[in-house]
């Protein structure tokens, strides 16, 4: 049943005039008449009758009026639900980040809530390869990641540089290398080296460093996520290449060795947005740049 005809009927019952109904609904009087006739024909019952100088509902018409009013109210609620859903989407941002984002997500979320508590942020954490794949498939609105060659296709206006990341060799407090002034290749050969998982940019750069500098280790482990590797380095399970900036968040727990051949490795960290002119993205980008200063200063 066409709810526009129900709307015409309800207004006619309430106003008692075809002319006033037409004026209120911004339709012609013949259209009002057509709606009422069509409605009456569809249920084969007279709904409106004339009483002196106005129109009113018949006995059946009053019952139909009650149901029609409920239907129109429900229709309004349906549209309200849809409006809220659209409004929610327009005030949300889906972000994927490599695991360095773990350290700055709380700060960004806290600060963006102060600016606009209605903005919803949805974060997912993965390695560089998976994060790029999610962004490339439009599963997310923006991406926080080290720059890789596959991103050359992204236009400059969609990329915001967050800073340059330094990768160094990290050791735990109990590792014999911790207090050693001069470290030679033979010292490293005694160590267990911990690599990130497949798809990680840190893994790719670590393997290149090992090959370019002919590094050998007694054993090589593989672990997912920097946080897991940090814990392993702290417990002296092995050594690993890690971003120096994390030391801001875990002071005095690990040491970054400066005088190692081929290190530090520098890489550019960036934020990529699907819609760089979107106001919510602009707010998020500004807060992200500020939060990432802790890594790069």
CA distances from 209 to 57, 112, 268 (A): 86, 38, 17
Same domain (yes/no): 184, 258: yes
- Are residues 262 and 170 located together in one domain of the fold? yes
Instruction: Tell me: do 30 and 145 sit in the same domain.
Output: no
Neighbours of 262 (CB within 10 A): 14
217, 195 contact by CB (below 8 A): no
**Are 183 and 257 in a shared domain?**
yes
Average pLDDT of the chain to the nearest whole number: 90
Give the total number of structural domains in the chain.
3
Checking if the pLDDT of 1 tops 70, the result is no
Residues 56 and 120 occupy one common structural domain? no
Task: Look up the pTM and report it.
Answer: 0.69
Per-residue pLDDT at 77 exceeds 80:
yes
Of the three residues 74, 89, 104, the one that is the final residue of a domain is 89
Write down which residue in 54, 89, 124 finishes a domain.
89
**For residue 49, pLDDT beyond 90:** yes
pLDDT tens column, 173-192: 999 999 888 888 889 999 99
**Residue 194 β-bridge partners:** 221
Whether residues 222 and 85 fall in one domain: no
Residue 7: CB atoms within 10 Å: 18
Q: For residues 185 and 202, state if they share a domain.
A: yes
Helices of type H across 96-225: 105-115, 128-136, 185-189, 201-212
55: domain range?
3-89
User: Can you give the CATH number for the domain in which 21 is found?
Assistant: 1.10.10.10
Q: How far apart are CA 47 and CA 82, in angstroms?
A: 32
Q: What is the CATH number of the domain that holds 157?
A: 3.40.190.10
Residues 118 and 169 placed together within one structural domain of the fold:
no
Residues 83 and 198 in one domain: no
- The pLDDT of residue 83 is 64
For residue 33, what are its two tokens? 């008449």
Q: What does the pLDDT average to over 42-53? A: 92
Is the same domain home to 74 and 219? no
Last residue of a domain, one of 72, 89, 106: 89
Residues 47 and 139 in one domain: no
């Amino acid at each position: 049943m066409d709810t526009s005809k129900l709307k015409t009927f309800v207004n006619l019952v309430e106003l008692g005039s075809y002319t006033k109904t037409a004026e209120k609904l911004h339709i012609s009087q013949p259209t009002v008449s057509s709606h009422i006739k069509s409605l009456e024909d569809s249920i084969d019952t007279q709904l409106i009758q004339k009483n002196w100088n106005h129109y009113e509902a018949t006995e059946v018409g009053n019952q139909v009026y009650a149901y029609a009013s409920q239907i129109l109210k429900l229709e309004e609620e349906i549209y309200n639900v849809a409006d809220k859903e659209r409004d929610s989407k327009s005030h949300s941002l889906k972000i994927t980040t490599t695991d360095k984002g773990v350290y700055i997500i709380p700060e960004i979320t806290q600060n963006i809530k102060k600016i606009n508590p209605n903005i919803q942020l949805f974060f997912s954490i993965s390695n560089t390869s998976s994060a790029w794949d999610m962004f490339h498939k439009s599963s997310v609105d923006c991406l926080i990641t080290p720059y890789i060659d596959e991103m050359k296709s992204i236009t400059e206006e969609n990329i915001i540089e967050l800073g340059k990341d330094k990768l160094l060799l990290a050791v735990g407090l109990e590792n014999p290398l911790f207090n050693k002034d001069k470290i030679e290749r033979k010292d490293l050969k005694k160590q267990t080296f911990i690599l990130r998982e497949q798809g990680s940019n840190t893994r790719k750069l670590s393997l290149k460093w090992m090959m370019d500098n002919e590094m050998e280790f007694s054993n090589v482990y593989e672990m997912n996520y920097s946080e897991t590797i940090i814990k392993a380095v702290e417990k002296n399970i092995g050594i690993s290449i890690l971003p120096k900036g994390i030391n801001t968040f875990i002071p005095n727990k690990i040491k970054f060795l400066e005088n190692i051949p081929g290190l530090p490795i520098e890489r550019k960290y960036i934020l990529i947005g699907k819609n760089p002119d979107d106001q919510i993205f602009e707010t998020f980008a500004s807060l992200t740049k500020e939060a990432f200063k802790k890594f790069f200063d």
